[in-house]
Every structure is written in structure tokens, then in C-alpha cells.
């Protein structure tokens, strides 16, 4: 074997030793690219198991208007509560004008659900909600679970429940802010601890949260104090907005 150094000359065949060096570098580079892709995938937020139905269906039950529109129905012999919203980034309240609180209605809409929380997006046909003579569904008993301080994230319920995947995190801040400003009910997703994983947010007196009071903190890691109230299959977090603050681990 010659000890002379090998050089690459464009119009000559590549020396064998140099050819093997280049092949080895290519293999190493491909391995680094694959490792980088794997690391990026591992660092991404999990999209969750939310579901958004592709076709509308009919729901029948009792409509509640406050603090946010909900439908109370009976499914498989058990009561079920659905948050009701409009299409796009809008709450359903304008679509319910003329229908009194407690009325029995039938709704045409798309099912959205995640973490045992159900939502109906109106089908936007122009005749999505109509009164019916179905028997009323009784309101759920309320169980007060006491005051707590929890770390978590304020999200818009529509995207988090299944319309966007993921529907949380700083990358989703602009979208969540538009949804909440448009009337989509805000929810609080707890991060760690023994608190329920997701709760519908209201003021301490049970009224709806004014959007402008929370928009600056949407999609950030925050700490919030309030009272947890169980209403059948829906958990409500009656929050003290004066306690709302970003945590050190926030975005």
C-alpha cells in the first residue's frame, strides 16, 4: 500500500480511501438529522385525544343560557351536559335569541369532546335550534369542593376540546384569544396536583368571565385561586381574577 497522500482531482476517479471517508461522513450526517428530527418530535406538545365529528347530528334537551349556553340531555339513561357554541370563533348566544332559559329544544350540530367534556357546535344551517315538547331535564345537583390555588393554563374550550390539535400552549395564544373574545367559553386546564384536569371558568358569583379580564394571560402558565364546584358531569372553577398571575414556569 502506498503511503502517499491521496488527493481528489475532478477529472480522475476518486481515491478509494477518500471515497470511504466521504461515505462515512454521509452516514454520520444522516444519523444526526434523524436524531434531530426525533428530538424535535419528543419536545412537541401532545395533541390530546379530542374529537370533532365530521357530520352534524340532532341533540334534544333542556337549554340553559347562563353563564354560558349549555344543553342538558339524557343519553343511555344518564344526564349529559354539552356546552353550546356557534361556528367559527363565536359563542352561541346571538343564535339563541328568543329562546328562554330552561326551554326544551332540539339542536343540529357537530359533536366535539375530550376528557369526558362534551360540546355542540351549531351546524350553521340557519335553523339549528328549535323548541320542542320534550320533557325537561332536571338541573344537576351542585357539590362544592372548596377553595384551591392551582397552576395551569387558560384555554378556549372549542379548540382545546378537539377543533385544534394541540389547542393549548403559547403557539396557540393568538387563536385562543380570538375565540374567547368572540364568546367561546374559557376553560382552565390544570397542570399537576389533584385538581380536575379541565374546568369551565366563571366569576365567583357564577357569571361568565369578561374576556378582556383574562386575554393577557391566555395560553400562559398561570396560578389562579377559586372554588371548585361539581355540576353533574361538568366541573366549574369559580375564580378570583385578582389572584391571577403568571408563574415562574410560564411562557
Q: Which of 100, 131, 162 marks a domain boundary?
A: 131
What is d(CA 154, CA 80) in angstroms, rounded to the nearest whole number? Answer: 24
In a domain, 33, yes or no: no
Kindly report the average pLDDT of the chain as a whole number: 88
Quick one: 146 and 241 in the same domain?
yes
If asked whether residues 168 and 202 sit together in one domain, one would say yes
| pLDDT given at position 45 | 54
Question: In CATH, what number is assigned to the domain containing residue 117?
Answer: 2.40.50.140
Quote the pLDDT of residue 3: 60
Q: Where in the sequence is the domain holding 109, given as residue range(s)?
A: 51-131
CATH of the domain at 194: 2.40.50
Dist CA 157 CA 172 (whole Å): 12
Q: Out of 78, 102, 131, pick the residue that ends a domain.
A: 131
Does 11 reside within a domain?
A: no
Domain for residue 147, yes or no?
A: yes
Residue 41: pLDDT over 70: no
Same domain, residue pair 212 and 160: yes
Residue 5 belongs to some domain of the structure: no
* Same domain, residue pair 155 and 240: yes
Domain-located, residue 161: yes
Provide the number of structural domains found in the chain.
Answer: 2
pLDDT of residue 97: 85
Task: Tell me: pLDDT of 130 over 70.
Answer: yes
Q: What is the pLDDT of residue 226?
A: 97
**Structural domain contains residue 69:** yes
**65-107 confidence digits (pLDDT tens):** 999 999 999 999 999 999 999 998 999 998 898 899 999 999 9
In a domain, 29, yes or no: no
In a domain, 7, yes or no: no
Residue 184: C-alpha distances to residues 82, 107, 198, 224 (Å): 13, 18, 15, 20
Amino acid at each position: 500500500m502506498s503511503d502517499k497522500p491521496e488527493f481528489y482531482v475532478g477529472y480522475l476517479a476518486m481515491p478509494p480511501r477518500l471515497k470511504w471517508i466521504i461515505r462515512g461522513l454521509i452516514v454520520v450526517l444522516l444519523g444526526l438529522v434523524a436524531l434531530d428530527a426525533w428530538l424535535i418530535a419528543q419536545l412537541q406538545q401532545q395533541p390530546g385525544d379530542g374529537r370533532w365529528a365530521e357530520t352534524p347530528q340532532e341533540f334534544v334537551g333542556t337549554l340553559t343560557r347562563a353563564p354560558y349556553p349549555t344543553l342538558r340531555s339524557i343519553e343511555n339513561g344518564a344526564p349529559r351536559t354539552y356546552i353550546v357554541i356557534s361556528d367559527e370563533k363565536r359563542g352561541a348566544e346571538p343564535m339563541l335569541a328568543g329562546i328562554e332559559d330552561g326551554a326544551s329544544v332540539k339542536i343540529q350540530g357537530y359533536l366535539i369532546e375530550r376528557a369526558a367534556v362534551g360540546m355542540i357546535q351549531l351546524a350553521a344551517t340557519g335553523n339549528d335550534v328549535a323548541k320542542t315538547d320534550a320533557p325537561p331535564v332536571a338541573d344537576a345537583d351542585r357539590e362544592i369542593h372548596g377553595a384551591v390555588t392551582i397552576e395551569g393554563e387558560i384555554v378556549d374550550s372549542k379548540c382545546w376540546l378537539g377543533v385544534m390539535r394541540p389547542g393549548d400552549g403559547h403557539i396557540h395564544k393568538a387563536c385562543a384569544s380570538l375565540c374567547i373574545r368572540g364568546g367561546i367559553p374559557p376553560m382552565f386546564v390544570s397542570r399537576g396536583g389533584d385538581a380536575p384536569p379541565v374546568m369551565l371558568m366563571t366569576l365567583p358569583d357564577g357569571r361568565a368571565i369578561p374576556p378582556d379580564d383574562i386575554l393577557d394571560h391566555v395560553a400562559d402558565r398561570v396560578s389562579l385561586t377559586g372554588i371548585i364546584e361539581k355540576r353533574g358531569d361538568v366541573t366549574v372553577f369559580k375564580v378570583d381574577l385578582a389572584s391571577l398571575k403568571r408563574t415562574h414556569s410560564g411562557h
